[in-house]
Amino acid sequence: MIDARLAGLTSMVNDVQPITRAEHEARMAKARRLMAEHGIDALFLEGGTGLRYFTGIQWGRSERMTAAVLPAEGEIAYVCPAFEEARLREMIQPADDVRVWEEHESPFDRVVGILTDRRLASGTLGIEESVRFFLVDGIRHATPHLELVSADPVTIGCRGIKSDAEIALMQCASDITIEAYKTCVDALCEGMSQDEFHELSIAAHKALGVTGHIGVQFGETTAYPHGSRRLTYLKEGDVVLMDGGCKVEGYCSDISRTLVFGTPTARQKSVWELEKAAQAAVFDAARIDAPMEALDAAARRVLESAGFGPGYEVPGLPHRTGHGIGLDIHEHYNVVKGNRIPLAPGMCFSNEPMIAIYGEFGVRLEDCIYMTEDGPRYFSQPSPSIDRPFAE
């Protein structure tokens, strides 16, 4: 029966439009403008989502440096192992500057060469927030007259606002994950293990054309926000909490659903409905120029009025109400107390004010929001009711 369900799924990414070279160029141009505003002479980016965001290069991380230096003035330049040059050049423009290093040589010397050629032997080098310490430390020792600073005002300033093309990719990812959810929920059965559900979710996403998965918890372990190590098996009356997503051209979806396997109790229904009210309060509070912390406060007011909390106390909401999302599943900006960043068009974030009741169960409904000039929009439509996890 499961095989038949999977056989009915087809790829949903055949018409996906990747981020264009022109958009990558526009991102670098914006970065240069922000560098000028914040007194940063160049950015250092290593393999990962930061490098991918600005250049389109998909490159994993290892002990060998592969990186880019993006100056405020002048052309971008790359550093990579000599034996990787051909692979790197498949991903960049033919005339781009690539500095290679052999296994016995120092990649930091190549970074110094780039900075010297760009007249940046002294000045300010912005370090992208996820760059690993050994690279920062190596640059520091190789360039003692260079000031190393956080590149956050530039990188977050760029990545925090999504373009229409980015939002379209995230919408596709969300649509795919909802379809995978439907297949997996239909397959729930007495005695199913968490691992069986997880494997099915991987297969469903694969049939839909992507790599993705959905984690699941049954019963009391649903109260743990990120699950339990304990393997459980589904039984009648269990709360089922699912959380998962996929990537389309690197852009993430993140969706949670909670239901009851069988007939819900009055207690389960009342907590589920309170969670839905808290999620709705977040959406209602999401208005252009509203501080992000106001959304977190809106969710907590609903929960605290019903006797949960206060603050992060459990039973209640033990974590922030949401997180930014894009090329990383968790990125800036967070929906959390103290974050006074005002909402702006293009911001994307999750809405997931979980209710955790240790020893009983937990309920989390998670749908991601993107902001428009006219206010918030959902990537995935919220669950209508405890026995209807998906909107029509």
**What SS3 class is residue 67?**
strand
pLDDT, tens digit, for every residue of 66-110? 999 999 999 999 999 999 999 999 999 999 999 999 999 999 999
When pLDDT is cut at 50, 70 and 90, the band that residue 35 belongs to is very high
- CA dist 157 → 154, 166, 263, 340, 346 (Å): 5, 15, 48, 15, 12
Contacts of 279 (CB under 8 A, 6+ apart): 299, 351, 352, 353, 365, 367, 382
When pLDDT is averaged across residues 314-334 and rounded to a whole number, the result is 98
State pTM to two decimals: 0.95
Are the CB atoms for 376 and 369 separated by under 8 Å? yes
Which is it for strands 367-372 and 348-351: parallel, antiparallel or unpaired?
antiparallel
Rounded Cα distance between 263 and 327, Å, is 39
Is the pLDDT at 1 greater than 60, yes or no? no
pLDDT, tens digit, for every residue of 251-282? 999 999 999 999 999 999 999 999 999 999 99
pLDDT, tens digit, for every residue of 287-310? 999 999 999 999 999 999 999 999
pLDDT at 80: 98
DSSP symbol at 233: B
The two tokens of residue 82 are 């000599």
- CA dist 193 → 197, 234, 244 (Å): 6, 6, 17
- Residue-by-residue DSSP string for 316-373: B--S-SEEE-SSSSSEEEEE-TT--PBP-TT-EEEE---EEETTTEEE--BEEEEEET
Alpha-carbon dihedral angle through residues 206, 207, 213, 216, given to the nearest 10 degrees: -150
- Angle between helix 194-207 and helix 164-186 axes, rounded to 10 deg: 130
pLDDT at 195: 96
**What SS3 class is residue 223?**
helix
Is the pLDDT at 367 greater than 60, yes or no? yes
Is residue 46 within a helix (H) or strand (E), and if so which, with residue range? strand 42-46
pLDDT, tens digit, for every residue of 236-249? 999 999 999 999 99
When pLDDT is averaged across residues 29-45 and rounded to a whole number, the result is 97
- Smallest CA-to-CA distance from 221 within 242, 244, 200, 196 is with 242
Is the pLDDT at 148 greater than 60, yes or no? yes
The two tokens of residue 346 are 């293009």
Q: What are phi and psi of 368, to 5 degrees?
A: -95, 150
Are the CB atoms for 333 and 339 separated by under 8 Å? yes
Rounded Cα distance between 185 and 126, Å, is 46
When pLDDT is cut at 50, 70 and 90, the band that residue 132 belongs to is very high
- Residue-by-residue DSSP string for 136-149: HHHHHHH-TTEEEE
CA 87 to chain centroid, in Å, comes to: 27
- Cα dihedral sign for 147, 148, 150, 156? positive
pLDDT, tens digit, for every residue of 369-386? 999 999 999 999 999 999
When pLDDT is averaged across residues 172-195 and rounded to a whole number, the result is 97
Rounded Cα distance between 328 and 185, Å, is 26
When pLDDT is averaged across residues 334-354 and rounded to a whole number, the result is 98
Q: Supply the mean pLDDT for the chain.
A: 96
Contacts of 98 (CB under 8 A, 6+ apart): 77, 78, 79, 80, 85, 88, 89, 92
Look at the block and give the residue holding tokens 């993107």.
370
For the chain, give the percent of residues with pLDDT over 90. 95
Are the CB atoms for 321 and 282 separated by under 8 Å? yes
Can you list the domains of the chain with their CATH numbers?
21-159 (3.40.350.10), 164-378 (3.90.230.10)
Q: In one letter, which amino acid is 14? A: N
Rounded Cα distance between 218 and 235, Å, is 8
Alpha-carbon dihedral angle through residues 267, 272, 274, 276, given to the nearest 10 degrees: -170
